[in-house]
Amino acid sequence: MSSGRFIALEGGEGTGKSTQSRLLAEALRASGHEVVQTREPGGTAGAEAIRALLLGVEGEGWGARAEALLFAAARADHVERLIRPALARGAWVVCDRFIDSTRAYQGGGGGLSEEDLLTLHRIGSEGLLPDLTLLIEVPPQETARRLAARDLDGPDRIGGRGEAYHARVSASFAGYAEAEPERFARIDGLGEPEAIHRRIMDAVAGLAS
């Protein structure tokens, strides 16, 4: 049996991760792979329940530490119950967000230390990393335009944080990609979805061998 591959898509809100996850999963399936398309927070019943706690706009919200623990708990369930079993049977996993979102949002945005976040990840998910992380980059004016057209009821709890928070998140993602070019592929997220999909397929091509 061939071994599975784990691909994560990362980037700010509205950069096209969900659209591109779907197109990538369809293309990989068409080339004969079993594909598990999933997302974070979420992907299992337990992690989806935690997602509702994290992103729902009811209540007073979470402090940075409680939020990081909830993301780590959701990820632990997702990794143990869905991602690792899929990889073990040779499936390709396409995941909309993973650990680099925690680093960028709870670390870069929220101010928690990298060391603490990676410790939580080691405890929760045994430090699992994707084989390839696709960082989709789109200027903030364009994501604002897309989200205004889509989210007529307003943003979720994290999406609604200020411009400065989201600027720190984007800068953090860019910094991770610069620091670890072997783990990341930076994808220009401007243009038609099909054109971006072709850039992604080029980046993923090296994983097939």
Q: Which is nearer to ligand Z5A, 140 or 207 (CB)?
A: 140
Taking the chain, what is the end-to-end CA distance rounded to the nearest angstrom? 14
Q: Contact region for ligand Z5A (CB under 6 A) — 25-33, 82-90, 127-135, 156-164?
A: 156-164
Residue 14 is a binding residue for ligand Z5A (CB under 6 A): yes
Q: Contact region for ligand Z5A (CB under 6 A) — 11-19, 87-95, 121-129, 177-185?
A: 11-19
Burial of 2 (0-12, 13-18, 19+ CB in 10 A): exposed
Total residues at interface with ligand Z5A (CB under 6 A) = 23
User: Which of 64, 69, 159, 207 touches ligand Z5A (CB under 6 A)?
Assistant: 159
In angstroms, how far apart are the furthest CA atoms of the chain?
Answer: 49
Residue 176 is a binding residue for ligand Z5A (CB under 6 A): no
Q: Contact region for ligand Z5A (CB under 6 A) — 58-66, 87-95, 155-163, 200-208?
A: 155-163
Please check whether residue 36 is in contact with residue 130, taking contact to mean a CB–CB distance below 8 angstroms. Answer: no
Q: Residue type at 125?
A: S
User: Which of 53, 156, 183, 207 touches ligand Z5A (CB under 6 A)?
Assistant: 156
Residue 71 is a binding residue for ligand Z5A (CB under 6 A): yes
Residue 78 is a binding residue for ligand Z5A (CB under 6 A): no
Burial of 196 (0-12, 13-18, 19+ CB in 10 A): buried
Among positions 107-126, residues that touch ligand Z5A (CB under 6 A) are none
Q: Contact region for ligand Z5A (CB under 6 A) — 29-37, 84-92, 125-133, 150-158?
A: 150-158
| Residues making contact with ligand Z5A (CB under 6 A) | 13-19, 40-41, 55, 71, 97, 101-102, 105-106, 146, 150, 156, 158-159, 193, 196
